[in-house]
Chain A
Amino acid sequence: MVKGTIYVEHLSKIFKKGNVQAVKDVSFAVEEGEFFAFLGPNGAGKSTTVQIVTTLISPSAGKVYVAEQDVLTNPKGVREHIGVALQETGIDPSLTGREMLHLQCRIFGFTNKQAKLRTSELLEVVQLREAADRICGNYSGGMRRRLDLALTLVNKPKILFLDEPTTGLDPSNRKSIWNYLHRLNKEEGTTIFLTTQYLEEADTLADRISIIDDGEIVATGTPQELKAQIGNDIIAMNFENEGEAEKAEAAITQNMPGTDFVKRSTELNLYVQNGTKRLMEIVRLLDQENLAPQTINVNTPTLDDIFLKITAESEQKRGGVEHG
């Protein structure tokens, strides 16, 4: 039996059309049974990566092994072991949900009888039994997503690739998809590679997260590790205007060298180990400088903060957002 692993080394993709480098020297490895998430904003290169590792498009450079098969030389072997839900659902709107599933089963080599059985099983799993004989062109967005998910499960894949599976869904549909994915990963041991723009989604579901921005992986770790990476606490301040925030930034750089911070217009976030203790120092310093923030809070970081910090840093490196 092959293992449900993903191995990507120095992957790059340049689209000749538009001359865009969508993926830049990306490397990562996913173990069997792991729930791995790619977290990144729009245009980060998530879908391009998914399309490469699922055999749909070829890389410009790099090595990709999925289920221990080389994606470049044995795409068919890869396809047999994976289930893929792309960002856009892949459904023939003139068929019913049941017909779509049956067809997918048949393509994967099931006999008619086996296909019937598997179809009704999966309809049950994604709660589409009642809508099964309706034309899926008339399904709601959530139902389409669920059918699309069921289609990816037909061949009991070792590895599931899901490109933004909950984008645009209402909270109840999102929750039910989270539940299937969690169960699939924990009970069946399916390896899952999920991309998302939602921090909450990655935080809830994933064992490990890579943050991708502008085609590059900028951070990788468990949700806990990523949170620890930026200190235990965040001192979040908001000033009346940008000038004040800049003055505060200058004072902190001067008097507390080495302090980790990110400034975005009137907001200034400090990343510190012991928030309450440092708070007193900060307040004193600001007082000396005659600066008074409108609000000041000590927060424990969420993935949101990590995300903002890391993407702000990579923008700074590119000279996007000014830093004082």
Chain B
Amino acid sequence: MGNGLVKDIWVLSKRSVLTTLRSPFSFIPNLLISTFFLLVYDSGLSGISQLPAFDGANYLAFILPVSVVSAAIGGAGGAGQGIVKDIENGFFSRLLLTPASRLSIVLGPIIAGMLQLFVQTILILIVAFLMGLEVATGFLGVLVVLLLAVGWGLAFAGYSAGIALKTKNAQAAQAGTLIFFPLIFLSTTFVPYELIESSWLKVAATINPTTYIFESMRTVLIDGWKFWGIAKGIIAIMIACAITITFAALSAKKAVSRG
């Protein structure tokens, strides 16, 4: 009786996806807001791209990463929300009482969260293309943007799952995600680094990992295959994932260990 790890993960991820689809209000607002960013900022701010620092780049391509990253953070938050819901309605305990591997019980909601943000990112990219997006690196570049979004989302999913398992409280999990929302705006959100005037925002943008994600995506979208520009974001993702996944694993261990 019982399954291997892979089948456990498969079965439990499928169920998390189904649960997510059954409550569309858990992801539709996030998707709408992210698309809204794209439409409003592009039509409202695209004049800035006439400035010389933009080098004639298309503002749509510049602002697209903001929309993608905000969708990713919201989508990743869904992983924590899912876990908290399971704990609250007793389903988490029911799973713990089965022979299912403990890892799969925690990974199910995280994988569903990743899938959710993967689909969201594709939808946003489609909207962007409909708005006239041009990508310097073509289709492969779009894939890189997708992977960066998923990677950054995974870091957040680890964080939100960790908070969920630690607090077992829906509000705390939600608030934990919201705290990081401002990170999107304390960065090179609307203008390139050279155009940021206030010095504190420059400092914030430098230490904010989101800046490097934006930079990676913009490099791919606007500048082409430039190794260092792209690598910065990947490094930021790896560091963030290492931290948050460790945090999630430790909280998970505590939550499923029988203290």
Which residues of A does B touch, CB under 8 Å? 54-58, 75-76, 79-80, 82, 84, 86, 88-95, 99, 103-104, 106-109, 135, 151, 155
- A108 and B92 CA atoms in complex are apart in Å by 16
Beyond A54-B97, A104-B98, whether A92 also contacts B1 by CB under 8 A is no
Q: Is the CB of B97 within 8 A of A55?
A: yes
Beyond A55-B258, A86-B90, A90-B89, whether A80 also contacts B2 by CB under 8 A is yes
- Residue from B1, B86, B257 having most chain A Cβ neighbours under 10 A: B1
Give the top 4 A-B pairs by smallest Cβ distance, nearest first. A90-B94, A58-B258, A90-B90, A94-B22
**Closest chain A residue to B23, Cβ basis:** A94
Determine whether B195 belongs to the interface, using a CB cutoff of 8 Å to chain A.
no
Residue interface mask B19-44, A partner, CB < 8 A = 1: 10011000000000000000000000
Q: Is the CB of B1 within 8 A of A108?
A: yes
Q: A80-B1, A104-B94 are in contact. List 13 more A-B contacts (CB 8 A).
A: A58-B258, A76-B99, A79-B97, A79-B98, A86-B90, A88-B90, A91-B94, A92-B89, A106-B11, A107-B3, A107-B12, A135-B22, A155-B1
Interface size, B (range): 20 to 34
A and B contact pairs by CB, cutoff 8 A, 12 listed = A55-B258, A56-B258, A57-B259, A86-B93, A86-B94, A90-B89, A92-B89, A93-B89, A103-B15, A107-B8, A109-B1, A151-B94
Determine whether B201 belongs to the interface, using a CB cutoff of 8 Å to chain A.
no
Neighbour of B93 across the interface among A90, A94, A109, CB < 8 A: A90
Q: Is the CB of B259 within 8 A of A58?
A: yes
Chain B residues with CB below 8 A from A79, complex form? 97-99
Neighbour of A109 across the interface among B2, B86, B92, CB < 8 A: B2
**Which residues of B from 86 to 117 have beta carbons under 8 Å from A?**
86, 89-100
Determine whether B18 belongs to the interface, using a CB cutoff of 8 Å to chain A.
yes
**Closest chain B residue to A88, Cβ basis:** B90
Number of A-B contacts (CB under 8 A): 83
- A82 and B1 CA atoms in complex are apart in Å by 12
- A57 and B99 CA atoms in complex are apart in Å by 15
Chain B residues with CB below 8 A from A107, complex form? 3, 8, 11-12, 95, 98-100
**Closest chain A residue to B89, Cβ basis:** A93
Chain A residues with CB below 8 A from B91, complex form? 90-92
Beyond A95-B18, A95-B19, A103-B11, whether A108 also contacts B98 by CB under 8 A is yes
A304 to chain B, nearest CB (A): 31
**Closest chain B residue to A87, Cβ basis:** B90
- A94 and B109 CA atoms in complex are apart in Å by 14
- Residue from B8, B18, B90, B95 having most chain A Cβ neighbours under 10 A: B90
Chain B residues with CB below 8 A from A92, complex form? 15, 19, 86, 89, 91
A311 to chain B, nearest CB (A): 29
Chain B residues with CB below 8 A from A151, complex form? 94
B183 to chain A, nearest CB (A): 31
- Residue from A54, A57, A91, A92 having most chain B Cβ neighbours under 10 A: A92
Chain B residues with CB below 8 A from A90, complex form? 89-95, 97
- A155 and B2 CA atoms in complex are apart in Å by 10
**Closest chain A residue to B101, Cβ basis:** A76
B185 to chain A, nearest CB (A): 33
- A185 and B213 CA atoms in complex are apart in Å by 61
Q: Is the CB of A94 within 8 A of B18?
A: yes
B67 to chain A, nearest CB (A): 28
- A155 and B11 CA atoms in complex are apart in Å by 17
Chain B residues with CB below 8 A from A94, complex form? 18-19, 22-23
